Structure 1
């Protein structure tokens, strides 16, 4: 018998324990019959005040992922969704594939991750070659994001990092900061803009920006959850959260 609330799919969601944005974002996009079951990746609220400390803090998260996988698997989910993005971009496309393989080998089920989800989203829109992106991170991690997109065939024209000084500070980035950053990144030489960093709230701002910029604007939480739904054959269209969920 299927789960009485998750009768279409039960998603096990992995996210850092410091992340307060990805859970409400994913729940906002959840169709009837799909349930989200969160497993916290133990994450000290590191002070990310330099390239070195930012990278070191991210590596701590990566080292704790499999413990969270083993925990959420006790709920017998049908599929996993990664609610943390930085580690899924490390070492380019081959690094993303290796991360996916490691998690899927442990879990025995498939997973959607932010890096591959963003690439799939850009391809779904069609005609996207040149992108701009922004993150809450420091330059060392942006370098990894740029490398990944390059491996996937996208040219990064511009990028910026907000240099948030702790993991919880990422959730304090305001809607106005998001809008200002999108305007700064836009230009006739950019086909689409991407936001990475799952603890940065940009789902609604990205959806609105598609109207006033007239081009695809991909928020990583939207892309990741969209990817998970479509991977499970769930084609429900969600309105008011951007073209990705309403059209593709």
Structure 2
């Protein structure tokens, strides 16, 4: 018997309890017959005021993932989608693989899309992207981890900007104008694509709007992660409003 509303797939979404962006953005990308079931990772609203406190706070989120997996698995999802990104970059390719294995093992073998892998696969889907620049709401220490991951994944990182937002909830309060100005600072003729990481940064719609302005792919991590989840499950629907990735690939 199929789920009446989720007759194609049930997605279990895992994200920090402080995150107010992943849930609505994933819902806006959801095609008919796919349903999203959000499981919140308990996350104190840490005041990330420097490198050390930011890194420590992200590890606290990681420690809560297991409980969130156990909770969402009670609805028998077909697939898991990670709505948190920082820890999926830590430790480069090896660290990302270990994190994915931890999630898959705990879920009893259910597949998962995570931000790091999804974004790298999204970049490869274009076929001609060699260099990137990225922005994040993180602090510099976390950006170093993101840079390491993308470098190991085969991309040349031409630049990065950490917005250093002062708390988890403040990430979702980042003005659209600030994010757009940051994209402008990162862009130049040597950059094949612009990338945004940090799932609580509300950039899915902005990235789509920015692509024709910059004349190149602008990839928001929530778009990349949901795209990866759909395509990994054989769902090839073209979704309007979220840029070339979901429309053309």
Alignment of 1:233-244 (within 5 A): 233-244=234-245
- TM-score between both structures, scaled by the size of structure 1: 0.99
Q: Tell me the distance in 2 between the aligned counterparts of 1:70 and 1:238.
A: 30
Q: Tell me the distance in 2 between the aligned counterparts of 1:129 and 1:154.
A: 5
Q: Does 1:125 align with 2:126?
A: yes
Q: Tell me the distance in 2 between the aligned counterparts of 1:221 and 1:102.
A: 21
Q: How much has 1:178 moved relative to structure 2?
A: 1.2
User: Match of 1:241, SS?
Assistant: coil
What is the aligned partner in structure 1 of residue 101 from structure 2? Answer: 101
Q: How much has 1:52 moved relative to structure 2?
A: 0.3
Q: How much has 1:126 moved relative to structure 2?
A: 1.5
Number of positions where the alignment pairs a residue of Structure 1 with one of Structure 2: 248
Alignment of 1:92-241 (within 5 A): 92-108=92-108, 109-241=110-242
Q: Tell me the distance in 1 between the aligned counterparts of 2:166 and 2:213.
A: 30
> Deviation digits for residues 13-71 of structure 1, max 9, x if unmatched?
00000000000000000000000000000000000000000000000000110110000
> Deviation digits for residues 130-185 of structure 1, max 9, x if unmatched?
10000000000000000000110001100000000100000001111111111110
Structure 2 residues without counterparts, runs of 5 or longer = none
What is the aligned partner in structure 2 of residue 56 from structure 1? Answer: 56
What is the aligned partner in structure 1 of residue 26 from structure 2? Answer: 26
User: Match of 1:172, SS?
Assistant: coil
Q: Tell me the distance in 2 between the aligned counterparts of 1:161 and 1:218.
A: 16
Q: Tell me the distance in 1 between the aligned counterparts of 2:237 and 2:128.
A: 24
User: Match of 2:68, SS?
Assistant: helix
Q: Tell me the distance in 1 between the aligned counterparts of 2:103 and 2:241.
A: 32
> Deviation digits for residues 100-129 of structure 1, max 9, x if unmatched?
001000102000000000000000012111
User: Match of 1:189, SS?
Assistant: coil
Q: How much has 1:240 moved relative to structure 2?
A: 1.9
- TM-score between both structures, scaled by the size of structure 2: 0.99
Q: How much has 1:244 moved relative to structure 2?
A: 0.3
Q: Tell me the distance in 1 between the aligned counterparts of 2:240 and 2:31.
A: 11
Q: Tell me the distance in 2 between the aligned counterparts of 1:228 and 1:184.
A: 31
Q: Tell me the distance in 1 between the aligned counterparts of 2:52 and 2:178.
A: 25
